[in-house]
Structure 1
């Protein structure tokens, strides 16, 4: 039995090492959120067993939980580098597949069609607004910047306010609010499914997204010219890495000890 108990320990230690290694590898990934492993013990005993005689038979992986705490904010100076100070996610939609993504990575840029997108052809979603910036609908739309205004003036620049309003400027001095960045919130963000590239998708565990304007209610404020760095603490991860390594070594030693005892018993009987 000790062989299988220690084997479970080895597998769990390997999983712990994998998760920590993944965190360290993404310590410089914009918008990345670290994960940690949770284990639970296993006992062998039925309903009628004497509770004083129930024996533990190892541990099992219970969950790999994500930590959505705020990462450090880094100033970049680019108007389309956006960060959420507080709770919430940017909402993007793939221009090719139509799939919806949620992300904390606000490194956006304009493409040739005037779409504000993340470099993977996923377009930022906004609330439609009127000329004064008032939200006119809760149905999200692509954040697209017209190349010219109604007078034919050429696009000159873009600003994003902390309340999410995206304003396009033109060379005749005209300013037009083209939308308000929508921030998504979830009842259980730990239930979001990781998709890679700092993107997540909603699941039945996370619940459906609710949307709101930045800097209102439970939705965080928007910061232009800023990116959110990974929330990985390298020192903390290195300590965890050493602990997981020692755990792996201890379980391997337990298997070796059990093997020696078994060999001794075999030798005595022969």
Structure 2
């Protein structure tokens, strides 16, 4: 039995090492959230068995959870580099399959057709607003169907030949505006921020993107700098929340656990060999 107990310890230590290694590998990934492996003991006894004479039977991996703590921000001086200070996610949609996902990686850029996309090519979703007043045209409880792709026209009116774009601005509440050559300020939309009842229930997709699931609950959409949503900082990006010093200490601890379990298997093998030799 001790072989299998130590074997479960080896597997647990291996999972811990893999989790920590992934954290260290992504220390420079924009808006990456570190993961943590959680373990539980295995204990079993027959209904009529005295539990005070039963030892544990090993360890198992209960879950690997992400830690959605705030990462530090780094200035870039690029207007469409956006960082969220506080809770919330940006909402983006892939054009290939209309799949909506959520991210805190605010490294956005403009494509040739003037749509604002993230590093994966997914388009930033915004709450539609009146171009003159900036008042939202979609009211009530918002869903993904109420959101639209953000487009920054080169000329205003869109498709015209005059009034070329002069600059783009992003406010703390996510209001995105364009200023044109004749001084006209046009409200292009308000960044659609998403929040969830259980962030731990989100499914990872990679590239700092997540999908909503039944465990996370449906997304709640709103504007930044209000309620559940943090504020948006233009010209900055959120770095990963990995503390490299803490990860290296955890890496040493996981390595020691692996070595200890390997030694336990070696000791059990030595004892078994000795007993067999005594009987022979």
Match of 1:74 in 2: 74
Shift of 1:47: 2.9
Q: Deviations over 1:25-79 (max 9, x none)?
A: 0000001000000000001203332221232011000000110000001111100
Shift of 1:119: 2.9
Match of 2:193 in 1: 183
Are residues 1:200 and 2:207 paired?
Answer: no
1:144 is aligned, of 144, 148, 151, to 151
Are residues 1:31 and 2:31 paired?
Answer: yes
Shift of 1:229: 0.2
Partner Cα separation in structure 1 for residue 41 and residue 276 of structure 2: 31
Shift of 1:146: 1.6
Q: Deviations over 1:82-125 (max 9, x none)?
A: 01100000000001121111001000011111111013220000
76-85 or 133-142, which deviates more: 133-142
Are residues 1:263 and 2:273 paired?
Answer: yes
Partner Cα separation in structure 2 for residue 166 and residue 49 of structure 1: 68
Shift of 1:208: 0.7
Partner Cα separation in structure 1 for residue 170 and residue 262 of structure 2: 56
Q: Deviations over 1:214-241 (max 9, x none)?
A: 0011110011001000000000000000
Q: List aligned pairs for 1:56-205, cutoff 5 A.
A: 56-130=56-130, 131-137=132-138, 138=142, 139-150=146-157, 152-205=162-215
Unaligned 5+ segments in structure 2 are none
Partner Cα separation in structure 1 for residue 59 and residue 34 of structure 2: 23
Indicate the SS of the match to 1:63. Answer: strand
Q: Deviations over 1:134-184 (max 9, x none)?
A: 111141110111221127311222110001100012122211011000110
Shift of 1:3: 0.3
Q: Is the 8 A contact 1:94 1:100 kept in 2?
A: yes
Match of 1:2 in 2: 2
Unaligned 5+ segments in structure 1 are none
Matched pairs, number: 270
Q: Is the 8 A contact 1:6 1:252 kept in 2?
A: yes
TM-score (norm: length of structure 1): 0.98
